[in-house]
Chain A
Amino acid sequence: MLTPGFADPVLHAQAAFRAVLDAMSRPGRVQLAGPGLAPPAPLMRASAAVLLSLADAATPVWHDAGADADAWLRFHAGAPVATTPRDAAFVLATGAPPTLAALDAGTEEEPERGATLLIQVEAIEEGTGLRLTGPGIEHEHRLLVRGLPDGFVAAWAANRALFPRGVDVILCAWDRLAALPRTVAIAEG
């Protein structure tokens, strides 16, 4: 039996979207999302809330979250499943994610086609850790990420060098999320 989606599909989707908009506008700032959701494991509330608020029949989703999560996402978001990560508008990684270079980075004329990659991690905390600079950041934001994939910072530099093409990342940890739009520069702390 499927657990419910948003209790209020209109207002909760709006709240989740504003959390993502705030996160994308201020890279590295932590937002809360999906507080009322109970998605099947290994889906976390924040990543479930992002997909419920943004994915639909127009956006192929690729994920590694297994059959229960698949049934839940299909029922509540109605998004088609992409056969490969490169064909997906949204990619959700609950385990080791596909490399950034394996995803759609859009084109020079239509960089907006670049995919959004959701990576589930163990924890995100503001104040220490990675040093982030770029649009949306007044001086520097710091973000500690527990469970960041190996080699991510180097792969990110290559992704950022593609600008305006590129992939945008949303890190999700339980009911918390932080975004890394393709413009952000990341240095190890």
Chain B
Amino acid sequence: MNAPLAGYNFAYLDEATKRMLRRTILKAVAVPGHQIPFGAREMPLPYGWGTGGIQVTAAILGPADTLKVIDQGADDTTNAISIRRFFTRVAGVATTERTEEATIIQTRHRIPEAALREDQILVYQVPQPEPLSKLEPRRAETKRLHALADYGLMHVRLYEDIARLGHIAKAYDYPVMVNGRYLMSPSPIPAFDNPKMHRMAALQLFGAGREKRIYAIPPYTEVRSLDFEDHPFRPIRAPQACALCGSRESYLDEVITDDRGGRVFVCSDTDYCGTRVAAQKGVA
């Protein structure tokens, strides 16, 4: 552990703010999938840089933790590097790019390919926590709909897709039901990742900075992607194998390789891909 930067409280936030966030997180765990408003603090990073996730991470983080931060599956993007550097400076915690070494993983837009364990916590950065926001913009009304578990609007929206297109046209942020009670946004992860949320061994916490809301999924909790009997949910993946490690199971990004339209598919999870490539080299 490095010495944290002088002049900051551990993990940047003051203790009163941490207590408020911690109380919110505990109630979020007690009511799985329910969005709870909190008094967000100004963070030294702009909205869109994961301030909600950063506040959740800052509230739970301790000196014994090892932090991993991913953005679209990659550890080496500007956003992920900035957040890792921030917590190194203000908390002195160890960081890692290895999923298996991390105790806290803060993520934007992906769930790691490796199955997470009971001793890990996954923190999602959430831009829009309300799954009904595009269908019902009034917060007072969406609160009422959640209270009544009245999710007819969303079923109608998805069924309209099926009627028009023959399938549900939602590849990201595909809504889920948590513990059979609350409709929840999984954040803009690919629908491919949705099944990983179901009965995950790790605790999942969600922080929305601009909208100032926190929600959670406890370990081993039912998470079902919304679907219909005649149109069951199917996670979508490009049919190719990864050009680097050959995986046919992982979620792939399409990468343009030259200015003549050349393109390849590679794993979006850089640690998963790199670990497989290293293992293959070791065998060769």
Kindly list chain A residues whose C-beta atoms are within 8 Å of the C-beta of B23. Answer: 54, 59, 89
Closest 5 A-B residue pairs measured CB to CB? A108-B147, A112-B27, A136-B218, A181-B30, A135-B221
> Interface range on chain B: under 10, 10 to 19, 20 to 34, or 35 or more?
35 or more
Q: How many residues of A contact B (CB 8 A)?
A: 38
- How far is A105 from B49 in the complex, measured between Cα atoms in Å? 36
Kindly list chain B residues whose C-beta atoms are within 8 Å of the C-beta of A21. Answer: 22, 25-26, 29, 60, 203
| Identity of the chain A residue whose Cβ is nearest the Cβ of B23 in the assembled complex | A54
- How far is A109 from B36 in the complex, measured between Cα atoms in Å? 10
A13 CB-CB contact with B under 8 Å: yes
B10 & A10 in contact (Cβ 8 Å cutoff): yes
B188 CB to nearest chain A CB (Å): 24
A18 CB-CB contact with B under 8 Å: yes
Q: How many A-B residue pairs have CB under 8 A?
A: 112
Kindly list chain B residues whose C-beta atoms are within 8 Å of the C-beta of A13. Answer: 15, 18-19
B119 CB to nearest chain A CB (Å): 9
| Identity of the chain A residue whose Cβ is nearest the Cβ of B214 in the assembled complex | A112
Please list 20 pairs of residues, one from A and one from B, whose beta carbons are closer than 8 Å in the complex, sorted by A's number.
Answer: A11-B63, A13-B15, A14-B61, A17-B18, A17-B59, A17-B60, A56-B16, A109-B147, A111-B34, A112-B31, A112-B34, A114-B27, A135-B179, A136-B218, A136-B221, A137-B220, A138-B219, A164-B31, A168-B26, A183-B179
Query: Which B residues are closer than 8 A to A by beta carbons?
Result: 9-10, 15-16, 18-20, 22-32, 34, 36, 59-63, 118, 143-144, 146-148, 179, 181-182, 199, 201, 203, 217-222
A31 CB-CB contact with B under 8 Å: no
Given A25-B219, A111-B31, A135-B221, answer yes or no on A11-B62 (Cβ-Cβ < 8 Å): yes
B200 CB to nearest chain A CB (Å): 11
| Identity of the chain B residue whose Cβ is nearest the Cβ of A26 in the assembled complex | B219
Query: Which A residues are closer than 8 A to B by beta carbons?
Result: 9-11, 13-15, 17-18, 20-21, 24-26, 53-56, 58-59, 89, 107-109, 111-112, 114, 116, 135-138, 163-164, 166, 168, 181-183
- How far is A163 from B180 in the complex, measured between Cα atoms in Å? 12
A115 CB to nearest chain B CB (Å): 10
